[in-house]
Copies of this chain bind each other. A is one copy, B any other.
Amino acid sequence: MHPETHEYYMQQALKEAQLAFEADEVPVGAVVVLNNKIISRGHNQVELLNDSTAHAEILALTSAYSSLGSKYLPEATLYVTLEPCLMCSGALYWGKIGCIVYGASDEKNGFRKHIKAEQSPFHPKTEIISGILQDECTWLMRNFFQLKR
């Protein structure tokens, strides 16, 4: 896989999601990419940290802010295995992220459920790409919740 493709970076986000899965966390993973380099990684740690804000995207974003010393990421792309929720969408808005690439859709908690059609939650310049490695991302979630039953 070419390291500059969306699939390559989504595979890296899936690796993070797998770490969450193995830790019995809802398996969502994210990476932030700047100039073809991964500058931060995160996976859901809500249970470990006992913190319902500790979603993959929030952890990857705050790690990126910290390592760059900047609170904005207009040149960066966030790859995440699941459609962002409202909280994470809001965080991505404030961070002025350049591009968001997500894998699986989230009918229950994804941003598209709540948002008025004419009111994107994101920064006007943010590009949104969906469905990258959708099957793999969806499979991991389904598998997790099936094991929980």
Q: What 9 pairs across the A-B complex have the smallest Cβ distances?
A: A87-B90, A86-B90, A52-B94, A52-B71, A114-B119, A51-B65, A87-B91, A52-B95, A53-B91
* In the assembled complex, A88 has its CB within 8 A of some CB on chain B: yes
Contact A91 to B52, CB < 8 A, known contacts A86-B121, A114-B119, A119-B113: yes
Of B66, B90, B95, the contact of A88 (CB 8 Å cutoff) = B90
Of B52, B66, B71, B86, the contact of A72 (CB 8 Å cutoff) = B52
Residues of A within 8 A of B (CB): 46-47, 50-53, 58, 61-62, 65-66, 69-72, 85-91, 93-96, 113-116, 119, 121
Whether A53 and B94, one on each chain, are in contact in the complex, defined by CB atoms closer than 8 angstroms, is: yes
